[in-house]
Amino acid sequence: MTTKARQPDEPYGYTVDGVLALAGGRGAVAKAIGVSVQTVAKWARRIPDRHARQVAILAGLPLEIVRPDLVHSGHDQAKRYVGAMK
| pLDDT value of position 11 | 45
Quick check: 82 pLDDT over 60?
A: no
Q: Model confidence over 37-55: pLDDT tens digits? A: 999 999 989 999 999 999 9
Please name the residues in contact with 72: beta carbons below 8 A apart, sequence gap of 6 or more: 64
| pLDDT value of position 84 | 61
| pLDDT value of position 8 | 47
**What domains are there in the chain, each with its CATH number?**
16-85 (1.10.260)
| pLDDT value of position 85 | 58
Quick check: 34 pLDDT over 70?
A: yes
Q: Which amino acid is at 62?
A: P
| pLDDT value of position 80 | 61
